[in-house]
């Protein structure tokens, strides 16, 4: 009898499977967290294509410009998204950017450390800060919002106080000369695919300076890091055991613990991830500008969280994607640069940022309802 | 005497001065369903947590397949084959069926230091297992949130069985379910038992317990009122014992009194 039942049930499932293939592609797409952000990005490009299509915004130089801004934000937005999927926030990202910049600049300029050791030192400090954030949240059970808000003030204050104590100023310039021949700095400071741009320039396909070199010299390092971070984070979330643990930790902490997921360790590692991402951001900016500023990264934590939310992450955790966050960052970067090419006053950018986030939250909320109640 | 798959002999648990459990004894054979009945506060939760290795008993012993055992942690209990399905099921509604099924125990593939989550294999096993219960998961990557309460319960039970449970401990598996859903879960429980598992079904609903149980243990205020085979006890007797028969009698008298006054 059980044989019979089995054959019936298997027949039933295979029948269902065939029917599924027709509907599932659209359904699957609709249920993807990054849908909103991808759609939003397309709309943004159409908008600027129409409004600013002939202004040079989409020239090689203009494109790299808004990609650079998007990529910088994207690096921290992806880490923030991973943490958010894991069910926590990090408000100290912006302060960590300032702190990491100082951790590079002061040893390199005032203590005579080689630049690469300073960079490694900054990353080591980031791991410490992230670990401290994580262990505090996990051990106390306090909301990460509060814990990292405290860290926001502590780090920013410490950055300012230490810098003024050692240098007497709030800026540390003079790093540019150290970049050359440094074994690590090139990873954060070199434009890539220069040959391509030189060639494009020689073919007169892109704009040139008066001396004949192309205006856009190569793909900035931020873009490479951004793409690498997106791919890496997506691979972790979709293809690894650790990725499943991130979703589980954010989705239901108790349930995950009950089935043996090391929720505490997962969360701590994600906090380390945001601090390290902030340090990548800081290193790129410091080497690009040639100086560190104590106020660098101010309010970046909120932009990163906004990009993650636009990218489909739920504030309550357990749902979201790295690709979504990447598109969220692309939207913000494109609009913040693109607005210069239009007649719109740039003061309106923040209004747009806020409105975008509101729409995203409402949309995400609707998606979550669909996902959890579609029966 | 290792005929019993699992024995709990004279288990007691105290929290400070509170006696949560006192001298509770239960014995289960393979394929047996024992229903643990008790009203709120009877000590059911404490007993479950003792079974699951969350609490260590202060007195008494746990014997599994003839061997005396002490659970140091929930993982210990799991390794010994005690699969506990809590009321909250430990399922994440936003995650897919597959990701829930293998949560914390994902199958891996690939190079030794670059192992990845074998999602294809996981999908296949999850769909197969759910199919065996007669639930067609239209798509194992669909979110658990889209499943009905009964299906979720079955998923949690199926997961416990897949990961090697010999004794299933089910905490109120039907309490939040309608009649149809509850019967689906109970059918699955009977099927699991017929495949050689021992099942401890904790409930306060005699109507759900009576049709499926082989034996019934009634808890009241931390003490066992005894274990009864099905043939020795009726549904009404069980119900009376659970609620404390006097209380129901008293209620009946009071209601009659009220009726008389109203008329």
Tens of pLDDT, residue by residue, chain B (263 residues): 447 888 888 888 888 888 888 888 888 888 899 998 887 777 888 888 888 888 888 888 888 888 888 888 877 888 888 888 988 888 988 899 999 999 988 888 988 778 889 988 999 999 888 888 878 777 888 888 888 888 899 999 999 999 888 999 998 888 878 888 888 899 999 998 998 899 999 988 888 888 898 999 888 888 888 888 888 888 888 887 776 666 667 777 888 888 888 77
Structural domains of chain B sorted by starting position, each given as residue range(s) with its CATH number in brackets: 6-92+163-262 (3.40.50.300)
Residue A180's region, left for phi above 0, alpha for psi from -120 to 50, else beta, is beta
> Token pair for residue A278?
């902030």
Q: Write out chain A residues lying below 8 Å of B88, CB-based.
A: 252, 254-255
Looking at the predicted structure, is the pLDDT value of residue A303 above 70? yes
DSSP secondary structure letters along A206-227: S-B-TTSSBSS-SB-HHHHHHH
Structure tokens at A361: 């939250």
CA angle at B215 for the pair B213 and B217, rounded to the nearest 5°: 110
Two structure tokens written together for A322: 């790295």
Q: Which of A32, A37, A14, A306 is nearest to B94 (CA)?
A: A32
Contacts (Cβ under 8 Å, ≥6 apart) of A123: A100, A276, A279
pLDDT at A126 over 60: yes
Select the residue of B75, B94, B138 nearest A260 (Cβ to Cβ). Answer: B75
Rounded to whole angstroms, the Cα distance separating A51 from A46 reads: 9
pLDDT the model gives residue B11 = 86
Nearest to B94 among A24, A28, A319 (CB): A319
The Cα–Cα gap between A71 and A333 comes to 8
Of all residues in chain A, the percent with pLDDT exceeding 70 is 90
Token pair listed for A170: 């709030």
Set of chain A residues whose Cβ sits within 8 Å of the Cβ of B131 = 9-10, 13
- Name B21's bridge partners: B13
**Residue B92 and residue A318: Cβ atoms within 8 Å?**
yes
Token pair in block for residue B140: 């194992």
Chain B residue numbers with beta carbons less than 8 Å from the beta carbon of A375 are 146-148
The runs of H, that is alpha helices, within chain B are 44-51, 74-79, 97-101, 119-133, 149-162, 179-194, 206-212, 235-243, 245-262
Confidence class of residue A297 from pLDDT cuts 50, 70 and 90?
very high
CB B133 within 8 A of CB B188: yes
Q: Which of A70-74, A87-91, B151-155 has the lowest mean pLDDT?
A: B151-155
Residues 65 through 104 of chain B touching chain A, CB cutoff 8 Å:
74-75, 78, 86, 88-95, 99, 102-104
Whether residue B138 contacts residue B66, with contact meaning beta carbons closer than 8 Å, is answered with no
Contact B136 A255 (CB under 8 A): no
The set of residues, in sequence order, having a beta carbon less than 8 Å from that of A182 and lying 6+ positions away, is: A114, A115, A116
Tell me the angle at which helices A2-31 and B119-133 cross, rounded to the nearest 10 degrees.
130
Chain B: nearest CA to A330, how far in angstroms?
26
Q: What are the structural domains of chain A?
A: 42-373 (1.10.3470)
For residue B25, the SS3 value is: strand
User: Which residues of chain B are within 8 Å of residue A371 when distances are taken between CB atoms?
Assistant: 93-94, 143, 145-146
Pairwise pLDDT comparison (A362 vs A154), residue with the higher score = A154
Q: What is the rounded end-to-end Cα distance, in angstroms, of chain B?
A: 63
Above 70 in pLDDT, residue A12? no
- Better pLDDT: A104 or B205: A104
pLDDT tens digits, one per residue of A273-284: 999 999 999 999
Find the mean pLDDT for residues A281-293.
Answer: 94
Q: Answer yes or no: is pLDDT of A243 > 90.
A: yes
| B219 Cβ contact partners less than 8 Å away, ≥ 6 residues apart | B24, B36, B37, B38, B42, B43, B44, B47, B225
Please give, rounded to a whole number of angstroms, the shortest distance from the CA of A272 to a CA of chain B.
Answer: 21
Report the distance separating Cα B7 and Cα A333, nearest Å: 65
Could you tell me which chain B residue has the CA closest to the CA of A317? Answer: B94
The per-residue pLDDT for A70 is: 96
Does A2 have pLDDT greater than 50? Answer: no
Question: A109-113, A121-125, A320-324, A357-361: which range is least confident on average?
Answer: A357-361
Burial of A370 (0-12, 13-18, 19+ CB in 10 A): middle
Residue B162 near chain A (CB below 8 Å): no
Average pLDDT over residues A351-362: 85
Cα maximum dimension of chain B: 81
Q: How far apart are CA A181 and CA A171, in angstroms?
A: 24
Size of interface A-B (CB pairs under 8 A): 108
* Contacts for B27 with CB less than 8 Å, ≥ 6 apart: B4, B6, B7, B8, B227
Do A9 and B134 count as a contact with CB atoms less than 8 A apart? Answer: yes
Question: What does the longest C-alpha to C-alpha distance in chain A come to?
Answer: 86
The label of the residue with tokens 């979709």 reads A238
Taking CB atoms within 8 Å and a gap of at least 24, the contacts of B179-184 are B180/B150, B181/B148, B181/B149, B181/B150, B181/B153, B182/B150, B182/B208, B184/B150, B184/B151, B184/B154
The rounded distance, in Å, linking the Cα atoms of A301 and A305 is 6
Q: Say yes or no: A245 contacts chain B, CB-CB below 8 A.
A: yes
How confident is the model over A245-265, as a mean pLDDT?
A: 91
The C-alpha atoms of residue B25 and residue B43 are separated, in whole angstroms, by 13
Higher pLDDT, A166 or A25: A166
Cα A102–chain centre separation: 21
3-state secondary structure of B41: coil
Task: Residue B200: count other Cβ atoms within 10 Å of its Cβ.
Answer: 24
Give pLDDT, residue A29: 66
A142-187 pLDDT, tens per residue? 999 999 999 999 999 999 999 999 999 999 998 888 888 888 888 9
Helix and strand totals (H; E) in chain B:
9, 12
User: What's residue A268's pLDDT?
Assistant: 97
Say if the Cβ atoms of B141 and A28 lie within 8 Å.
yes
Kindly give, in sequence order, each residue whose CB lies less than 8 Å from that of residue B4, ignoring residues fewer than 6 positions away.
B27, B28, B29, B63
Provide the phi-psi class of A290: left if phi over 0, else alpha when psi is between -120 and 50, else beta: left
pLDDT per residue as tens digits for the range B49-96:
888 888 888 888 888 888 888 888 877 888 888 888 988 888 988 899
Q: pLDDT at residue A31 above 80?
A: no
Nearest chain A CA: its distance from B71 CA (Å)? 15
Q: Which residues of A fall within a CB distance of 8 Å from B115?
A: 240-241
Alpha-carbon separation of residue B263 from B249, B250, B255, B256 (angstroms): 21, 20, 12, 11
Q: Do residues A283 and A119 make contact, with C-beta atoms less than 8 angstroms apart?
A: yes
Q: What is the pLDDT of residue A26?
A: 62
Minimal C-alpha gap between A143 and chain B (Å):
20
Q: Which pLDDT score is estimated for A372?
A: 66
| Six-digit token string for A295 | 């106020």
**Residue A375's closest chain B neighbor by CA?**
B146
pLDDT of A15 reads 41
Give the predicted TM-score (pTM) of the model. 0.86
* β A291-293/A171-173 pair status: antiparallel
């Amino acid at each position: 009898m059980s044989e019979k039942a089995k054959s019936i049930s298997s027949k039933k499932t295979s029948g269902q499977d065939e029917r599924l293939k027709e509907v599932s592609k659209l359904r699957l797409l609709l249920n993807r967290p990054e849908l909103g952000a991808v759609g939003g990005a397309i709309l943004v490009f159409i908008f600027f294509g129409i409004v600013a299509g002939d202004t040079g915004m989409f020239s090689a130089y203009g494109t790299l410009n808004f990609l650079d801004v998007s990529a910088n934000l994207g690096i921290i937005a992806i880490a923030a998204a991973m943490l958010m999927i894991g069910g926590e926030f990090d408000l100290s990202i912006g302060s960590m950017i300032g702190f990491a910049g100082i951790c590079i600049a002061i040893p390199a300029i005032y203590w005579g450390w080689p630049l690469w050791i300073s960079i490694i030192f900054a990353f080591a400090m980031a791991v410490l800060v992230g670990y401290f954030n994580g262990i505090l949240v996990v051990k106390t059970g306090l909301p990460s919002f509060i814990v990292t808000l405290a860290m926001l003030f502590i780090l920013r204050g410490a950055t300012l106080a230490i810098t003024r104590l050692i240098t007497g100023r709030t800026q540390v310039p003079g790093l540019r000369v150290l970049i050359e021949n440094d074994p690590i700095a090139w990873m954060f400071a070199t434009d890539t695919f220069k040959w391509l741009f030189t060639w494009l320039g020689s073919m007169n396909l892109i704009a040139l300076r008066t001396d004949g070199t192309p205006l856009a010299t190569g793909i900035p390092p931020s873009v490479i890091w951004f793409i690498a971070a997106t791919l890496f984070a997506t691979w972790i979330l979709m293809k690894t055991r650790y990725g499943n643990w991130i979703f589980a930790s954010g989705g239901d902490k108790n349930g995950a613990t009950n089935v043996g997921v090391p929720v505490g360790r997962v969360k701590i590692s994600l906090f380390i991830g945001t601090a390290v991402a902030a340090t990548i951001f800081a290193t790129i900016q410091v080497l690009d500008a040639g100086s560190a500023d104590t106020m660098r990264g101010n309010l970046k934590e909120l932009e990163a969280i906004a990009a993650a939310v636009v990218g489909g992450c739920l504030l309550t955790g357990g749902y979201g994607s790295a690709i979504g966050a990447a598109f969220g960052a692309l939207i913000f970067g494109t609009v913040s640069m693109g607005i210069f090419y239009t007649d719109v006053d740039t003061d309106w950018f923040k209004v747009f940022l806020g409105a975008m986030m509101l729409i995203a939250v409402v949309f995400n909320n609707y998606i979550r309802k669909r996902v959890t109640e579609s029966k | 005497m290792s005929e019993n798959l699992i024995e709990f002999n004279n288990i007691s648990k105290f929290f400070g001065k509170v006696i949560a459990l006192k001298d509770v004894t239960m014995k289960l054979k393979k394929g047996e369903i024992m229903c643990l009945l008790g009203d709120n506060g009877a000590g059911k939760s404490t007993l479950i947590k003792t079974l699951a290795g969350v609490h260590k008993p202060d007195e008494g012993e746990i014997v599994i397949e003839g061997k005396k055992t002490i659970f140091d942690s929930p993982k210990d209990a799991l390794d010994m084959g005690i699969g506990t399905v809590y009321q909250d099921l430990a399922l994440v509604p936003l995650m897919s069926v597959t990701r829930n099924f293998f949560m914390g125990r994902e199958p891996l593939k690939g190079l030794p230091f670059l192992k990845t989550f074998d999602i294809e294999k996981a999908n296949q096993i999850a769909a197969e297992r759910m199919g065996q219960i007669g639930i067609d998961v239209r798509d194992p990557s669909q979110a658990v949130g889209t499943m009905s309460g009964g299906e979720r319960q079955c998923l949690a039970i199926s997961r416990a069985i897949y990961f090697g449970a010999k004794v299933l401990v089910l905490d109120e598996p039907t309490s939040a379910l309608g009649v149809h859903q509850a019967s689906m879960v109970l059918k699955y429980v009977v099927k699991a038992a017929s495949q050689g598992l021992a099942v401890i079904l904790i409930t306060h609903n005699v109507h759900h317990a009576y049709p499926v149980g082989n034996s019934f243990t009634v808890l009241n205020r931390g003490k066992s009122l005894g274990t009864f085979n099905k043939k020795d006890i009726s549904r009404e007797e069980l119900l009376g014992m659970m609620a404390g028969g006097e209380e129901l009698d008293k209620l009946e008298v009071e209601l009659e009194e009220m009726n008389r006054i109203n008329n």
